[in-house]
Amino acid sequence: MPRILHLGLGNFHRAHQAWYTAMAGDWSVTGVVMGNAALYAALVAQGGAYHLGIRGADGLHIQKIAVHDRLLLAQAAPQAVVAAIADPEVHIITLTVTEKGYGLGADGRLDLKSPAIAADLTQDPRSAIGLLAHGLALRSTPVTVISCDNVSGNGHKLRAAITDFARAAGLRLSVDIRFPDTMVDRITPATTDAIRSEIEAASGATDPAAVLTEAFSEWIIEDDFAGPRPAWENAGVEIVPDVVPYEVRKLRLLNAAHSYLAYAGLLAGYRYVHEAIADTALRAAVEQLWNEAQATLPDNVQASTPAYRAALVERFAVAEMRHELAQIACDGSLKLRERIVPLLTGASDAPQARRALAAWIAFVVWKRDRGERLQDPNANQIAALLAANLDTWSLCKSLMGLIGLPDAPLEWHAALVSDVDKLIGNGPVA
């Protein structure tokens, strides 16, 4: 039976790519858990199977997903993962390791000085990029590598990252390796005890690896494969010549709104997405953010965008999803580069996108004031800036540089500082 290898066996993969593969049939998956030993143990105990709860307008439906027939834990057995990547039975490698798992700098290329990448250049690899580069260098047959993360131009950036690592490590990539761009979409919250209990009650089975997701799902893949692939189109996947218009729409509408709601919603005292979108002021701000974003979208998705926006409001409003704002708020310094920064670098004014950036800056100050560590790959650098007793003007300038906006016009920067001061109650940042 042909095989896929997947890096990053978190909730999103198990709700999305694994579900599509199970629906398409006839392929097995080697699942690589990157570092979550508890999840690995739970899945091993269940033979790789788990229960997926799908929340739709007509209630909760349960599917048992059993496509992962081999499991590996990268942190414990990195060389076994490298060997599995090189396995000629594997025709496709997919990965969901979040934006920070790519080790990219602000220029979209691999940051060889990032701790995980630097470590992989001197020892057995444990990052996704290091594992892939070492495994691909051992391959004797063509393979397709598919990023399933919210990274703009994900296929091109993944190819560049692996090429950069291989060059630095002295590895030779000699077979045909394709990196199609993709766009993925399915709201999948972190599994809480309440979610797990609900799925267990509906399924009649105890399952520590249970996942909840929404009924809506979308997966669009560029038609660029090095060899065989599952009949994913039979399960609803779209195989298209160009993913970019769909990807841009999703990043600048769904993901941008999610980030804004996460920061502004937490500052307003909300916990869940459905609570934040129900707030009249936040809902109006999201609509304005979408107006600004829609003006930047490619022409071929403009006609369908009003319906897409309406569907997003409905998806955000489903209380039973219990999608935590704190989950979305993680890794802001990377996510905002893809979701908000493109709205601020165009020719037109985008005041609500600016206020979304202000909400993130106010959020990091709020986290500091609460004595809570920021969940962000640049947390140490941000903490150092906050500890330096900078005024709001200087703090904003430093944080903007961190996310790829180093030189803003004076008037624009003054407006950002004013937005931040309003959100932190006009008090000192220090």
Model confidence over 139-156: pLDDT tens digits?
999 999 999 999 989 999
**Residues forming a β-bridge with 185:** 218
Output the pLDDT for position 427: 45
**282 in Cβ contact with 268 (< 8 Å):** yes
Which one-letter amino acid corresponds to residue 275?
A: E
Q: What is the pLDDT of residue 346?
A: 67
**Are 263 and 329 within 8 A, CB to CB?**
yes
pLDDT of residue 107: 82
Residue numbers in the chain where pLDDT is lower than 70? 346-348, 426-430
Rg (CA), the chain: 21
Residue 429, pLDDT score:
45
Q: How many CB atoms lie within 10 A of CB 375?
A: 14
Domain boundaries 3-242, CATH class: alpha beta
Residue 408 pLDDT: 81
Q: What CATH class has 245-423?
A: mainly alpha
Residue 374: predicted pLDDT: 97
Tokens of 46: 């269940």
Question: What residues contact 206, with CB distance under 8 A and at least 6 apart?
Answer: 200
How close are the terminal C-alpha atoms of the chain, in Å?
Answer: 60
Say if CB 96 and CB 148 are below 8 A apart.
Answer: yes
Which tens digits make up the pLDDT trace of 29-66? 999 999 999 999 999 999 999 999 999 888 999 999 99
- Mean pLDDT, the chain, integer: 95
User: Whole-prediction pTM value?
Assistant: 0.88
Do the bridges between strand 218-222 and strand 182-185 make them parallel or antiparallel, or are there none, so unpaired? antiparallel
Q: Give residue 144's identity as a one-letter amino acid code.
A: T
Domain ranges of the chain: 3-242, 245-423
Closest to 239 measured CA to CA, from 144, 360, 355? 144
Asked if residues 362 and 423 have their Cβ atoms less than 8 Å apart, the reply is yes
